[in-house]
Structure 1
């Protein structure tokens, strides 16, 4: 299922690409969920061997689009619901590898989402952030015996389970965080398939970066208030480590803010605190930086990343602005528009294979 809002520029090529899986063609359907698309785009989509579901809402959200689509599809003979964003491309074996996880009994599975473009400094920073999250909150979490975090796309669920769960989701922003927490609360383990690749467009402009992060920060605050203290009770009374671990993620500040504030505190400590305090702060700062460096894949060790690092101060400033402007952001639909990166689908996938 590929929900999208005004994604006319990219949705046709994404749906065409989704048809090119090495999975048996008669065993999966591509479903384009079209919110506010141009008539010309709808006509192009209907020429493809896919299902096209048009939706319209007074206040558009991804959760509404998915729920409407499943209502239209009815109780068809689907076993798995795989969710993509309207900009996502899949490696040819993505469905096959995700399917293996369901064969072992998992109800929820997250694929390995990586960047499909790194054409600006902010896109590089976004790509690095995504891969750090993959290393710590997905691969690392599974190694530690707790659930992987889900991302919002490149994820799949047992169909009837997902349909029932989504019926109780009315989030405007961050619906994936809500179902992530609810599944862990209910004792459902989320698997991570590291070698199932899904390619996601990274933000290219500063204003898009700020708008996207504002939405994410708002959702993080909302779900922290809603679930964190409940997770502590569940940890104490039921030993639910998974739920507590996932809820604790909502307590963690974004990395760029963490690095920025720690750097500022260290600088201040040099002038207003004893030497010992300054040494402790620099050790703590160095430890955090080392953790992030270890989590960054080798493919990012290049001059392009060095150039992107120079944009960190601006990124910190934009994140700080997002932080002070989050009030009400989770109550309205903040759309992140996607565009074609100008690179062919074949080249995008080959670049990722080489890295």
Structure 2
């Protein structure tokens, strides 16, 4: 019995070590691939399968106010690609006039309050003026790069059925906004860019996801409070060969600018991790049944605990192993020591913004905020804990920065 418990303990440590070391492993693979290309190797480009213009239905979900909608609609109307319609769902909004009259912009006002992003999207689909080929899902605080849809159309021409686009910071005017942006760069690297490098499906965000309309309609929701992105990716990754990532299709998102906003955001995310934990097991077990490395790897990462929990568990391993096996304590100290260096290196690879890199000295504050958020997750079961956004910035302002 003692041997069984010991080997189980070793297995738990091995899984945790792989999670904590995964960013370093991916960074080393990235460095190897870049060195290979530098000496003459070339990335294989996928030829278009069906090079045709697609009709995009852009769904923007707004709740209670439309203050940030005009800059987003303005960025949509400045697209270099013409085949789209923007559907703004004005849910529970007192004022519904956005001050922009254009045939490609529709403001939809539900008769009753929907109070859920999923319901707002379904409402918009019911109002589509045509059967669009692709649905693009955005939040009210987003902005689109002028080439966004043109680049997206190119990715769908390669045969992809679902594409996550590149979420970048709309604002970096505070330390917390920079830290939020740094987190985006980190996860874009390990969960998207490197997944594509390895030929695996990428994780999605809750915004900037584009997919065939028929594929979205195949998703059946049973819970409408949170977990939007987790439900989508767990369902569609089992239906398509590859959930793609388009790093060159850029969408800008407002970053949080205070510790309190970060706590609310992280509370919501941590609650969603536990609430939808079963999705990870479903994808993982499906991968095992189908003998699919892509689904197995995807499922393993859906099961991955939030970063602060990984680091906290690793610290616990240092302490516990001091009494069980001091050698393992030293190993865990080495694993912990590499992590901040790896995090810094990944952010430096993904961004040249000195403000974002300099903000990394405040990472311990983020860790403490997330620990505090952990003890507030019950609030997320009672309320969506929406993060307020207020940066009314136009796409020209972002591109000039």
Give the TM-score taking structure 2 as reference length. Answer: 0.77
Distance 2:108 2:219 in 1: 18
Matching of residues 242-321 of structure 1 within 5 Å: 242-259=294-311, 262=314, 266=318, 268=319, 276-298=327-349, 300=351, 304-305=355-356, 308-321=359-372
Q: Secondary structure at the match of 1:60?
A: coil
Matching of residues 1-355 of structure 1 within 5 Å: 1-24=59-82, 27-39=83-95, 42-45=96-99, 47-49=101-103, 50-55=105-110, 60-73=115-128, 76-162=130-216, 164-168=217-221, 170-224=223-277, 226-259=278-311, 262=314, 266=318, 268=319, 276-298=327-349, 300=351, 304-305=355-356, 308-327=359-378, 329-330=380-381, 332-340=383-391, 344-351=394-401
CA contact (8 A) 1:219 1:330 kept: no
What residue is the counterpart of 2:34 in the other structure?
Answer: none
Q: Secondary structure at the match of 1:297?
A: helix
Aligned positions, number: 342
Distance 2:219 2:123 in 1: 10
CA contact (8 A) 2:348 2:357 kept: no
Distance 1:108 1:274 in 2: 47
Distance 2:198 2:321 in 1: 37
Per-residue deviation at 1:331?
5.4
CA contact (8 A) 1:126 1:203 kept: yes
Q: Secondary structure at the match of 1:29?
A: strand
Distance 2:89 2:293 in 1: 36
Distance 1:314 1:56 in 2: 44
Per-residue deviation at 1:236?
2.6
CA contact (8 A) 1:172 1:331 kept: no
Long gaps (5+) in structure 1: none
Q: Tell which deviates more after alignment, 294-303 or 171-180.
A: 294-303
Cα deviations by residue, 1:84-129 (Å, 9 ceiling, x for unpaired): 1111111110100011111122110111111111111111111011
Q: Tell which deviates more after alignment, 42-51 or 85-94.
A: 42-51
Per-residue deviation at 1:271?
7.7
Residues 1:320 and 1:71: Cα distance change in structure 2 (over 3 Å): same
Residues 1:171 and 1:294: Cα distance change in structure 2 (over 3 Å): farther
Cα deviations by residue, 1:172-211 (Å, 9 ceiling, x for unpaired): 1021111101112334421111111111111111111111
Q: Secondary structure at the match of 1:84?
A: strand
Long gaps (5+) in structure 2: 1-58
Residues 1:313 and 1:293: Cα distance change in structure 2 (over 3 Å): closer
| Larger gyration radius, structure 1 or structure 2 | 2
CA contact (8 A) 1:7 1:86 kept: no
Cα deviations by residue, 1:211-245 (Å, 9 ceiling, x for unpaired): 11111111111221x22333343233211333332
CA contact (8 A) 1:7 1:338 kept: no
Q: Secondary structure at the match of 1:296?
A: helix
Give the TM-score taking structure 1 as reference length. Answer: 0.87
Per-residue deviation at 1:169?
5.5
